[in-house]
Chains A and B, each alone.
Chain A
Amino acid sequence: MMKMEKQILMGLNGDEAVAYAVKQVNPDVVAAYPITPQTIIVERFSEYVADGLVDTEFVAVESEHSALSSCVGAAAAGARAFTATAANGLALMWEITYIAASLRLPIVMAVANRALSGPINIHNDHSDSMGARDSGWIQIYCENSQEVYDACIEAWRIGEHPDVQLPVMVCLDGFTLSHTMENVLTLPDETVREFIGERRFITVKGHTGEAELRLNPEAPLTMGPLDLQDFYFEHKLQQVEAMKHALRVIPEVDAEYAEVSGRRYGVLHPYRMEDAEVALIGLGSTMGTVRHVVDTLRSEGVKAGLLKMRVFRPFPAEELIEAVGDVPVIGVLDKAASFGAPGGPLYEEVKTTFYDEADRPLIADYIYGLGGRDASPQLIRDIFRRLEEIRARGEVAEKVSFVGVRE
Chain B
Amino acid sequence: MSDLTLREAAKKTDLLAPGHRLCAGCDESIIVRMVLKAVRGPTMVTAATGCLEVATTIFPYTAWRLPWIHSAFENAAATASGMEAAWRAMRRKGRGPLAKYETLDIVAFAGDGGTYDIGLQALSGALERGHDFTYVLLDNEAYMNTGIQRSGGTPHAAATTTSPAGHVIPGKREWKKPIDEIVIAHEIPYVATMSAAWPMDVMRKARSAFEAEGPAFLHAIVPCTRGWRYPSEKTIEISRLAVQTCIFPLWECRLEEGRPVYKLSAASAAIARRPESKKPVEEYLKLQGRFRHLFRPERRDDIIDSIQAWVDHRWQMLLEKAGF
> Measuring CB to CB, which residues of chain A are less than 8 angstroms from any residue of chain B?
28-29, 31, 55-57, 59-63, 65-66, 69-79, 81, 95-96, 99, 103, 198-199, 201, 207, 212, 214-217, 220-228, 231
- Say yes or no: A215 contacts B125, CB within 8 Å: no
Which B residue sits closest to A30, measured CB to CB?
B85
Looking at the complex, which of B71-79, B162-170, B218-226, B239-247 is the stretch in contact with chain A? B71-79
- Say yes or no: B59 contacts A78, CB within 8 Å: no
Closest 9 CB pairs of A and B: A73-B82, A62-B125, A70-B82, A225-B57, A79-B86, A69-B78, A74-B82, A66-B78, A69-B75
Can you give 30 contacting A-B residue pairs, CB < 8 Å?
A: A28-B90, A28-B93, A29-B85, A31-B82, A55-B92, A57-B92, A66-B81, A69-B79, A69-B81, A69-B82, A73-B84, A75-B82, A76-B83, A77-B83, A77-B86, A79-B96, A214-B67, A215-B67, A215-B69, A216-B67, A216-B97, A217-B101, A220-B64, A221-B68, A222-B68, A224-B70, A226-B54, A226-B57, A226-B58, A226-B59
- Say yes or no: B86 contacts A69, CB within 8 Å: no
Beyond A69-B71, A228-B59, whether A59 also contacts B121 by CB under 8 A is: no
Beyond A31-B81, A216-B97, whether A78 also contacts B57 by CB under 8 A is: no
- Say yes or no: B67 contacts A29, CB within 8 Å: no
- Say yes or no: A79 contacts B85, CB within 8 Å: yes
Number of interface residues of B (CB under 8 A): 53
- Say yes or no: A220 contacts B68, CB within 8 Å: yes
Give which listed residue, A66, A77, A99, A228, contacts B44 with CB less than 8 A: A77
Residues of A close to B62: CB separation below 8 A: 207, 222, 225
- Say yes or no: B72 contacts A29, CB within 8 Å: no
A77 to B83 CA separation, bound complex (whole angstroms): 6
A55 to B92 CA separation, bound complex (whole angstroms): 7
Counting chain B CB atoms within 10 Å of each CB, the highest count among A77, A78, A103, A214 belongs to A77
Which A residue sits closest to B92, measured CB to CB?
A55
- Say yes or no: A61 contacts B89, CB within 8 Å: no
- Say yes or no: A57 contacts B88, CB within 8 Å: yes
Beyond A29-B86, A73-B81, whether A66 also contacts B75 by CB under 8 A is: yes
Which A residue sits closest to B55, measured CB to CB?
A226
A59 to B124 CA separation, bound complex (whole angstroms): 14
A62 to B126 CA separation, bound complex (whole angstroms): 8
**A224 → chain B closest CB, angstroms:** 4
